[in-house]
Amino acid sequence: MGITLTSTVSIKELNSTRIARPRHVLMCEPTYFDVCYSINPWMDPSRPTSTRAGISQWKKLHDLFVELGHRVDLVPARPGLPDMVFAANGATVIDGKVLVARFRHAQRQGESAAFAEWFRQQGWGEVRTAGHDNEGEGDILFTGNEILAGKGFRTAASAHGEVRSFFDREVVGLTLVDPRFYHLDTALAVIDTGEVMYYPDAFDGPSRELLAERFPDSILATERDAEVFGLNAFSDGRHVVLPEAATGLAGQLAERGFEPIGVGLGELLKAGGSVKCCTLELRRFSS
């Protein structure tokens, strides 16, 4: 019996290889969101921002995660901490262990206590506040195998050793060189276990070589997609939620069998953040 493979069948088959795994994430409503200081090149305090628009855009992202079957916990926003909506920066959580962030800039330092308190109240066992500048999942990304750790703008090089010993996992250091991409999660996204997409020019030469060696078949983003924060994406292994303006990346993801879902977070982008920045993954068990 002959088998005829039509292109529809093969696309379907390709799609079916991507499996969504429900995630547990932490988010923070942008109740007090504003751009009243500038700690990255995207933030211009003289440009008007709307807290209301920020909340409604964020709410759509929140509801989308719930619809996709993810568990979303909420940490209460605190007045005077307008960047707290970027919950990804609050900690790194792997194997049920919580390393709470230590922020580089004074304007965000109050967030550490808010996150630490939340984790303790929720009964997370091992909760430690980092001893070195460490901006949580902004710079520390777990591929399911190794931990990729950014440095250059926010997280200190000395933080990488602490991450290694706290989580007892391999840590691969990467150096960021373009101030527009000041956190690792603006330049690279983990889209499945051991699979990443990234913008090579955001990294120095040795880091680019290292990435090419470790992740040879990665999706590489264009500057255009990186500039609209296309890499600030959240993937469950199948659905990749990313800024809607990153149309090139969405196409590349679809070609590899992912389902890209574009969202509009323009208001939060004025603070230099998007999908992933709003989303801290809570990994309770070893994987």
The catalytic residue positions are 183, 277
The nearest distance, CB 105 to ligand ARG, in angstroms, is 7
| 253 three-class SS | helix
How far is the C-alpha of 198 from the C-alpha of 167, rounded, in Å?
Answer: 24
C-beta of 243 vs 273, nearer to ligand ARG: 273
How far is the C-alpha of 125 from the C-alpha of 87, rounded, in Å?
Answer: 20
C-beta of 5 vs 106, nearer to ligand ARG: 106
Using CB atoms within 10 Å of the CB of residue 177, give its burial: 0 to 12 exposed, 13 to 18 middle, 19+ buried.
Answer: middle
The nearest distance, CB 168 to ligand ARG, in angstroms, is 24
C-beta of 86 vs 167, nearer to ligand ARG: 86
* φ, ψ dihedrals at 252, nearest 5°: -65, -40
For the chain, the residue count is 287
Residue 101: which residues within 8 A CB-CB, separation 6 or more? 89, 90, 91, 92, 111, 112, 115, 129, 130, 134, 135, 136, 138
Token pair 């039509």 in the structure block, residue? 6
How far is the C-alpha of 160 from the C-alpha of 163, rounded, in Å?
Answer: 5
Q: Residue 191 is inside which H or E element, if any?
A: strand 188-192
C-beta of 133 vs 162, nearer to ligand ARG: 133
- In single-letter form, the type of residue at position 271 comes to A
Query: Which chain residues interact with ligand ARG by CB under 6 A?
Result: 39-40, 43, 83, 86, 88-89, 108, 138, 183, 185-186, 271-273, 277
C-beta of 83 vs 178, nearer to ligand ARG: 83
The nearest distance, CB 273 to ligand ARG, in angstroms, is 3
The nearest distance, CB 89 to ligand ARG, in angstroms, is 5
